[in-house]
């Protein structure tokens, strides 16, 4: 979590330099979900994600250097610069891809699970999406098919109560999202997405259930996005959420909670944590250096690979 | 090149079935999925017997969820499966445009070539017997405009088999457009598996008076005309485009260099159709060879009406092609020759069915 | 019900003459739903329907003559021949239209309800669709929006257990459809769609609830299609349903049940029923005559009216 | 005709806002709906203040349900409402193709003219600052191929206002394409409400050397070139197509009769684009007037890459148009004149932003 947070804080800081010239959606405040869920996955499990993908990518083990390079549009980026922040991929860790059409990758995750079934692989696949995603018909179609064939897929809905600046209550009736998944025949779970232990426990049970042939599982996790929908800044001045809401939301910081627990349990000392943070910061600095010293592609690099051989 | 192995006559529908069967035999990763694929009607017979042979795992029905299921197939294709998806009408694929255009077409490109989407989507174009505004569209132009998709429309049973096998083996999303009126037409089809290139047009009738480049079912109409003309010593060149994207401009251009005249025939609306793209390319590349402006034989600017009375005149046919050839090539036929040709090409069936065996309802 | 049944039987009989040259989906066996639901509507209430539309159209009060003429492709048809069996319309009774893209008219019904809300009209709107319809994402999107704004719309799902030849269990997990509607925040109802009284009672409560500002309602009604999916014939030989299933399905004939009840209650005598049937048959004969003696359109009639003035 | 009432300068985005406001004032049946319509950013300012003025009933946010909500708008349009729907990116409208093509486009036709669908869908084309493969498509050709839809793309603030008002008052589904890079460009815009015809192209720069017909943002690029040439006494005719469907062939044809040369510029892929349709029509109707084959300035055959380094060269601009004019019209400029023109038309901003004020992120 700390690593994701520090990476995104660094991104936010550097964004103003106008060298990362692409839309960027930070997950600061929502890190516990990526981390808690991905901690229950093996390398061969497959992940698909959406526009807010940094956390998912890093938690699955995606290469930090190549992610930063991608944001800078360099040749060493994970898509060679073709994708930017909203199109991440790392085949080495089976992070198969994130794309920004809301709901668009959810059926792909189901398809990956179907492929695993057909090929007899014991791998599961995961779709990360937001509370807005469930409004897309395609997500319902995906749940229906997954439940029908009891496919090994985990749906993870990160409910941060907003789609851009529109609160949930202006988009959906007052009904829990996870109940919808139940109506589709999925086993569903829900909990506090700002508590990494809760997330981990739920995800572990859910992935275990999938491995035990209990069919697809759906997890709804409540969380809070700290910064603006798209871009590096806070956006309190827009007034689409009250100061009070923001304070409460940020008070539920998953990192603070986890740090407190760690210190209380004594698993790591303050010093150790600081050391960890220093290491992370060094890694991040190196990643930025890697990105900025990477080759700059030109238009000719954009021309090929439209069709596969 | 025509395969040299043993051959017999098959209908276009049978050829598709055989292609599916042989592709599935060759590669256990090939699966067939679509509404009605394993049902008793087996998509006009094109999927008959597949479930029996390959089992319920690989021959799949699906919920009425065109966009979602297209996404499911894309996801499976990313993970080593080669899905063949079927829509009984191309009109239903409009529901899946997002997945086809935003994901299937772009995945290879946007992830820098790391992954590909080996997906075939069979799209059947309806016509006749009251196939109305929402069940008879020809939408090849929509897909052909999108880089990353291949859009093919074989016109013969021979090509249907060879191109379907090639499409399944291709690592890209291929939209395989089948015109319903081709399903029952026979052609010599080799027994063994073979591949037909997805990007080469074919001269199906050689000639030097005028070039007719046709797509899908319109090849049949053009061929009738060419054959009828041939009896009178008039050689019309008919090119089966086979593919709307990529478009084999070279083959058409060579022909136009010879004839100086071009007619393009398509099953879709003229405006904004692939006819316009082909004409534009020929103009761009062969302007000085053109003796007259190229013209189009395609649908007018309105949807298909359902009533067979109303539809009688909507679909251009061999007679329209004949008249256009006479006009553009300035052919003055004697009354007898004209009557003879018109007799040869005139439809004997009611205008709204492909053949007399067809008695509805779908 | 009897009228719908007799009309469709007449259509089935005449279809073989090959003068109605369009796809036709009969609702024989399913008539109670159209009749029971539409009996609770006023003329100003709006109805949208799907490919299997004859019953909905007639029960809403649609003009029989113009429907038959439409099937024969004549100028006097309700769409002037442009639509055929799957595109019915009668503005006089606010039957706004049926079209054959599965699920395609469901959001339109929601939109009509939204329009009523915006204009302050006390009219409700109804969407008829099948068990296959709920698999389309657009139907979920429609339910979500209807529930969110508590729009005056009635969703009627005719569950005949089949989409063409594919049984429900090969398309959806083993979950009641009406529960899905509940998860979307709609009040839901379900019952025996082959019993017109049940249908009527449910529909009356549901429409009443809408008029009482209780928001959108969803009704799932089980029923049975007797004949082939498309076309005039029985299709027992296709073996996608067992002989036993067909016998049971047809034994639940809504007409037989209703006739028995009427006779038992003594509201009408055998003679009166026979007289009614004769009248209906005369009306039907007249409608066929009207259709067959109506002007035949030509292609020039197909050319205009692409754009409205 | 330019309205004669008082005018002042507005940006394209402000002109849209004013059009919406005036249309809503004039007709209580007009509603505006879309993701983010009433939010603080107000769709790049184009819906600012509307909720305050017209209330939450008529200025609506919506769930992320593009196809369903399009259907909802069609249903409302059938019942006396005139919805204006907004998509922040045209790419999202691919999810709504079914409702747009199967229902909106055909309802009037298939129900024999009984009802119409007065619906406007605003579709914003993204470009620059890393708008990548799924956020920067120009899809006008897909819609223009469908009879029953009107597809317009105003290039100036003046037209944005007049055409939006006309579109809202039109009884048909109108797809109103706004290029993101036009939003901040100023133009003189009359204060009062006025209508601009949806089916007439406009000569925005008169000339006789060559005809450039351009759509949407490409009008601006073409105009810069024409103005730069004008200083050297070379008169290039620039036509703002304004509408992709219907396509005003006549205006272009008259111009081509004068110049004999045609360049068509579009924001979309060349292959299968509206450029092909226009060229084909000019060839069909004006073959003998063409001195050389018409050419296209449009996008190459691949999706947009995200990286600004990669995208540098993807979008054709004034320089490309300039070079093409020189080539096709055989203009031999002195070194000074050439340098001067290139200086005049060369972009001063970074290539991936419309102006210097733009600093991302969307
Ligand atoms: C199909 C589609 N519609 C709209 C958008 C614009 N958009 C981008 S992100 C977003 C918000 C999505 O909200 P949610 O799914 O809750 O994710 P969050 O941003 O809250 O993480 C929207 C509307 C889009 N990218 N795709
Ligand atoms: C979007 C779409 N997909 C597929 C079809 C083909 N089709 C026509 S009717 C039908 C069955 C629909 O089943 P259901 O909704 O249960 O209605 P029923 O026929 O049982 O009355 C299908 C699949 C279609 N018309 N539209
Ligand atoms: Mg959210
Ligand atoms: Mg059904």
Is any atom of ligand 2 closer than 6 Å to the C-beta of B92? Answer: yes
A121, burial (CB in 10 Å: exposed 0-12, middle 13-18, buried 19+): middle
3-class DSSP string for chain C: CHHHHHHHHHHHHHHCCCCCCCCCECCCCCHHHHHHHHCCCCCCCEEEECCCCHHHHHHCCCCHHHHHHHHCCCCCCCCCCCCHHHCCCEHHHCEEEECCCCCCCHHHHHHHHHHHHHHCCCCCEEEEEECCHHHCHHHHHHHHHHHHCCCCEEEEEEECCEECCEEHHHCCCCCCHHHHHHHCCCEEEEEECCCHHHHHHHHHHHHHHHHCCCCCEEEEEECCCCCCCCECCCCHHHCCCCHHHHHHHHHCCHHHHHHHHHHHHCCCCHHHHHHHHHHHHHHHHHHHHHHHCCCCCCHHHHCCCCCCC
Number of helices followed by number of strands (H, E) in chain B: 13, 14
3-class DSSP string for B296-318: EEEECCCCCCCCHHHHCCCCCCH
In Å, how far are B243, B268, D177, D269, D273 from D141, measured between CA atoms?
A: 19, 14, 11, 9, 5
Beta strand pairing status for A153-159 and A125-130? Answer: parallel
Angle at the Cα of A123 (from A120 to A125), degrees rounded to 5?
Answer: 120
- Measure CB to CB from residue B303 to each of D98, D110, D269 and give the nearest one: D110
Of the residues B35, B68, B102, the best mutation for testing chain A's interface (the one with the most A CB atoms within 10 Å of its CB) is B68
The structure tokens 């399913």 sit at: C30
**Which residues of chain A neighbour B70 with C-beta distances below 8 Å?**
107
Query: Which two structure tokens, joined as six digits, stand for B169?
Result: 């083996």
| Contact assignment for B307 to C74 by CB distance below 8 Å | yes
B150 interface with D at CB cutoff 8 Å: no
Rounded to the nearest 10 degrees, the angle between the axes of helix A2-15 and helix A270-292 is: 40
Greatest distance between any 2 Cα atoms in chain D = 64
pLDDT at residue number D1: 47
Is any atom of ligand 1 closer than 6 Å to the C-beta of A102? Answer: yes
E-state strands within B206-294:
211-214, 237-240, 243-245, 262-269
Q: CA D191 to CA D10: how far, in whole Å?
A: 10
Cis status of the peptide bond prior to C206, with omega within 30 of 0: no
A107 interface with D at CB cutoff 8 Å: no
Measured between CA atoms, how close is A159 to chain B, in angstroms?
Answer: 22
Q: CA A120 to CA B80: how far, in whole Å?
A: 12
A171 interface with C at CB cutoff 8 Å: yes
Topology of the domain comprising D7-190: Rossmann fold (3.40.50)
Active site residue B87: no
Look at residue C244 and tell me whether its pLDDT is greater than 90: yes
User: Which one of B35, B66, B169, B324 is the catalytic residue?
Assistant: B66
Of the residues D27, D60, D75, D84, the best mutation for testing chain C's interface (the one with the most C CB atoms within 10 Å of its CB) is D75
Q: What are phi and psi of D312, to 5 degrees?
A: -75, 90
Q: Are A88 and A37 in contact (CB under 8 A)?
A: no
- Measure CB to CB from residue A301 to each of D67, D129, D310 and give the nearest one: D310
Give the number of the atom of ligand 1 that is nearest the alpha carbon of residue A130.
Answer: 15
> A with D: how many residue pairs have Cβ under 8 Å apart?
140
In Å, how far are B17, B35, B47, B49, B82 from B21, measured between CA atoms?
A: 6, 18, 8, 9, 14
Q: Where are the domains of chain B?
A: 7-190, 202-345
Nearest to A153, CA basis, from A126, A135, A130, A177: A126
Is any atom of ligand 1 closer than 6 Å to the C-beta of D92? Answer: yes
B35: left (phi over 0), alpha (psi -120 to 50) or beta: beta
**Which residues of chain B neighbour D175 with C-beta distances below 8 Å?**
none
Active site residue B66: yes
pLDDT at residue number D128: 95
Q: CA B247 to CA B141: how far, in whole Å?
A: 11
- Tens of each residue's pLDDT in chain B, 362 residues: 455 568 899 999 999 999 999 999 999 999 999 999 999 999 999 999 999 999 999 999 999 999 999 999 999 999 999 999 999 999 999 999 999 999 999 999 999 999 999 999 999 999 999 999 999 999 999 999 999 999 999 999 999 999 999 999 999 999 999 999 999 999 999 999 999 999 999 999 999 999 999 999 999 999 999 999 999 999 999 999 999 999 999 999 999 999 999 999 999 999 999 999 999 999 999 999 999 999 999 999 999 999 999 999 999 999 999 999 999 999 999 999 999 999 999 988 899 999 888 887 87
Is any atom of ligand 2 closer than 6 Å to the C-beta of C193? Answer: no
Buried b (16+ CB within 10 A) or exposed e, D316-342: bbbbbbbebbbebbebebeeebeeebe
In Å, how far are A83, C262, D136 from D90, measured between CA atoms?
A: 18, 58, 8
**Which residues of chain A neighbour D45 with C-beta distances below 8 Å?**
none
In Å, how far are B208, B322, D198 from B333, measured between CA atoms?
A: 17, 11, 45
**Which residues of chain C neighbour B307 with C-beta distances below 8 Å?**
22, 73-74, 77, 81-82, 84, 297, 302
Instruction: Give the mutation target among A51, A53, A227, A229 for probing the ligand 1 site: most ligand atoms within 8 A of CB.
Output: A51
- Those residues whose C-beta lies under 8 Å from the C-beta of residue C33, and which sit 6 or more positions away, are C55, C128, C156, C158, C193, C199, C221, C223
Residue C141 CA to ligand 4 centre (angstroms)? 20
Of the residues C16, C17, C20, C22, the best mutation for testing chain B's interface (the one with the most B CB atoms within 10 Å of its CB) is C22
pLDDT at residue number D4: 56
> A with C: how many residue pairs have Cβ under 8 Å apart?
58
Ligand positioned closest to the Cα atom of D362: 1
User: Which one of B18, B35, B87, B135 is the catalytic residue?
Assistant: B135
Is any atom of ligand 1 closer than 6 Å to the C-beta of D35? Answer: yes
Nearest to C202, CA basis, from C35, C21, C10: C35
Nearest to D191, CA basis, from D352, D15, D51: D15
| Contact assignment for C184 to A180 by CB distance below 8 Å | yes
Query: Which two structure tokens, joined as six digits, stand for B28?
Result: 């256990």
Q: Are B106 and D133 in contact (CB under 8 A)?
A: yes
- Those residues whose C-beta lies under 8 Å from the C-beta of residue B115, and which sit 6 or more positions away, are A89, A91, A96, A97, B78, B107, B108
A138 interface with C at CB cutoff 8 Å: yes
Query: What is this model's ipTM?
Result: 0.98
Length of chain D: 362
D273 interface with B at CB cutoff 8 Å: yes
Instruction: Give the mutation target among D34, D35, D96 for probing the ligand 1 site: most ligand atoms within 8 A of CB.
Output: D35
In Å, how far are B130, B301, B361, C70, C292 from C73, measured between CA atoms?
A: 9, 21, 15, 5, 10
Topology of the domain comprising A2-302: Rossmann fold (3.40.50)
Other CB atoms within 10 Å distance of the CB of residue C129: 25
Query: Which two structure tokens, joined as six digits, stand for B264?
Result: 């393009």
A204, burial (CB in 10 Å: exposed 0-12, middle 13-18, buried 19+): middle
**Identical fold between B7-190 and B202-345:** yes
| Contact assignment for A119 to B31 by CB distance below 8 Å | no
**Which residues of chain A neighbour B111 with C-beta distances below 8 Å?**
79, 82-83, 87, 89, 97
Q: What are phi and psi of C254, to 5 degrees?
A: -65, -30
Q: CA D183 to CA D12: how far, in whole Å?
A: 5
Q: Where are the domains of chain C?
A: 2-302
Q: CA B276 to CA B218: how far, in whole Å?
A: 16
Q: Interface partners of D (3+ CB pairs, < 8 Å)? A: A, B, C
Nearest to A107, CA basis, from B122, C141, B66: B66
Q: CA C106 to CA C127: how far, in whole Å?
A: 5
Secondary-structure class of domain B202-345 per CATH: alpha beta
Q: Are B82 and B118 in contact (CB under 8 A)?
A: yes
DSSP state of D180: G
Measured between CA atoms, how close is D360 to chain A, in angstroms?
Answer: 7
| Contact assignment for B106 to D303 by CB distance below 8 Å | yes
Q: Interface partners of C (3+ CB pairs, < 8 Å)? A: A, B, D
Provide the β-strand partners of residue D211.
D237, D262
pLDDT below 70 — which residues of chain D? 1-5
Provide the β-strand partners of residue D212.
D238, D263
Other CB atoms within 10 Å distance of the CB of residue C154: 28
- Measure CB to CB from residue B310 to each of C132, C230, C301 and give the nearest one: C301
| Contact assignment for B272 to D106 by CB distance below 8 Å | no
Residue C132 CA to ligand 4 centre (angstroms)? 5
- Measure CB to CB from residue B81 to each of A107, A118, A305 and give the nearest one: A118
| Contact assignment for B80 to A148 by CB distance below 8 Å | no
| Contact assignment for C307 to D108 by CB distance below 8 Å | yes
**Which residues of chain C neighbour B132 with C-beta distances below 8 Å?**
22, 82-84, 86-87
**Which residues of chain B neighbour A110 with C-beta distances below 8 Å?**
68, 71-72, 75
Q: What is the pTM of this model?
A: 0.98
Q: CA B64 to CA C131: how far, in whole Å?
A: 10
- Tens of each residue's pLDDT in chain A, 309 residues: 999 999 999 999 999 999 999 999 999 999 999 999 999 999 999 999 999 999 999 999 999 999 999 999 999 999 999 999 999 999 999 999 999 999 999 999 999 999 999 999 999 999 999 999 999 999 999 999 999 999 999 999 999 999 999 999 999 999 999 999 999 999 999 999 999 999 999 999 999 999 999 999 999 999 999 999 999 999 999 999 999 999 999 999 999 999 999 999 999 999 999 999 999 999 999 999 999 999 999 999 999 999 999
User: Looking at residues C96-112, what average pLDDT do you find?
Assistant: 98
A187-210: pLDDT as tens digits: 999 999 999 999 999 999 999 999
Q: Are D213 and D159 in contact (CB under 8 A)?
A: no
Return residues 145-164 of A near C (CB < 8 Å): 147-148
């Amino acid at each position: 979590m700390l690593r994701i947070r520090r990476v995104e804080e660094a991104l936010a800081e550097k964004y103003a330099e106008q060298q990362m010239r692409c839309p960027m959606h930070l997950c600061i405040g929502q890190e516990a979900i990526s981390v808690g869920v991905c901690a229950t996955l093996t390398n061969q499990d497959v992940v698909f994600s959406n526009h807010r993908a940094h956390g998912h990518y890093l938690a699955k083990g995606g290469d930090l250097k190549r992610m930063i390079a991608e944001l800078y549009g360099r040749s060493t980026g994970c898509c060679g610069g073709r994708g930017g922040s909203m199109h991440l991929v790392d085949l080495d860790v089976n992070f198969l891809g994130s794309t920004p059409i809301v709901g668009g990758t959810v059926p792909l995750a189901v398809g990956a699970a179907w492929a695993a079934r057909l090929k007899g692989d014991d791998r599961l696949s995961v779709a990360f999406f937001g509370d807005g995603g469930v409004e897309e018909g395609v997500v319902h179609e995906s749940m229906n098919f997954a439940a029908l064939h009891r496919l090994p897929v985990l749906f993870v809905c990160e409910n941060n109560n907003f789609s851009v600046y529109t609160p949930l209550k202006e988009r959906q009736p007052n009904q829990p999202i996870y109940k919808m998944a139940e109506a589709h025949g999925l086993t569903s779970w829900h909990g506090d997405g700002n508590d990494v232990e809760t997330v981990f426990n739920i995800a572990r049970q859910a992935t275990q259930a999938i491995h035990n042939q209990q069919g697809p599982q759906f997890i709804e996790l409540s969380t809070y996005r700290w910064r603006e929908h798209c871009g590096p800044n806070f956006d309190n001045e827009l007034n689409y959420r009250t100061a009070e809401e923001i304070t409460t939301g940020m008070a539920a910081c998953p990192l603070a909670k986890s740090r407190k627990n760690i210190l209380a349990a004594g698993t790591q000392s303050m010093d150790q944590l600081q050391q960890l943070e220093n290491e992370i910061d060094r890694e991040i600095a190196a990643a930025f250096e890697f990105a900025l010293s990477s080759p700059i592609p030109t238009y000719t690099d954009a021309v090929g690979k439209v069709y596969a051989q | 090149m025509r395969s040299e192995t043993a051959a017999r006559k098959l209908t276009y529908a049978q050829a598709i079935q055989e292609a599916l069967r042989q592709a599935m035999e060759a590669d256990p990763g090939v699966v067939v999925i679509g509404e009605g694929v394993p049902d008793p009607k087996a998509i006009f017979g094109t999927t008959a017997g597949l479930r029996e042979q390959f089992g319920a795992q690989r021959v799949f029905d699906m919920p009425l969820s065109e966009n979602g299921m297209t996404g499911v197939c894309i996801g499976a294709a990313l993970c080593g499966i080669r899905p063949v998806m079927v829509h009984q009408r191309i009109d239903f694929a409009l529901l899946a445009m997002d997945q086809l255009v935003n994901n299937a077409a772009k995945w290879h490109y946007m992830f820098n070539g790391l992954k590909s989407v080996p997906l075939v989507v069979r799209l059947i174009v309806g016509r006749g017997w009251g196939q109305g505004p929402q069940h008879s569209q020809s939408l090849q132009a929509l897909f052909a405009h999108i880089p990353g998709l291949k859009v093919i429309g074989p016109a013969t049973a021979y090509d249907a088999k060879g191109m379907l096998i090639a499409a399944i083996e291709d690592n890209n999303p291929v939209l395989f457009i089948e015109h319903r009126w081709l399903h029952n037409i026979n052609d010599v089809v080799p027994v063994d598996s073979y591949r037909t290139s997805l990007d080469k047009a074919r001269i199906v009738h050689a000639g030097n008076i005028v070039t007719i480049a046709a797509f899908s079912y319109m090849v049949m109409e053009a061929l009738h005309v060419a054959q009828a003309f041939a009896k009178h010593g008039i050689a019309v060149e008919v090119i089966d485009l086979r593919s709307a994207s990529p478009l084999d401009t070279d083959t058409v251009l060579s022909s136009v260099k010879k004839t100086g005249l071009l007619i393009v025939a398509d099953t879709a609306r003229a405006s904004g159709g692939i006819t316009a793209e082909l004409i534009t390319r020929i103009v761009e590349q062969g302007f000085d060879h053109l003796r007259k402006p190229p013209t189009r034989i395609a649908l007018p600017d309105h949807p298909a009406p359902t009533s067979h009375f109303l539809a009688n005149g909507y679909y251009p046919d061999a007679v329209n092609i004949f008249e256009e050839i006479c006009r553009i090539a300035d052919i003055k036929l004697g009354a007898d020759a004209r009557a003879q040709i018109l007799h040869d090409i005139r439809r004997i069936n009611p205008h709204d069915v492909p053949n007399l065996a067809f008695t509805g309802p779908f």
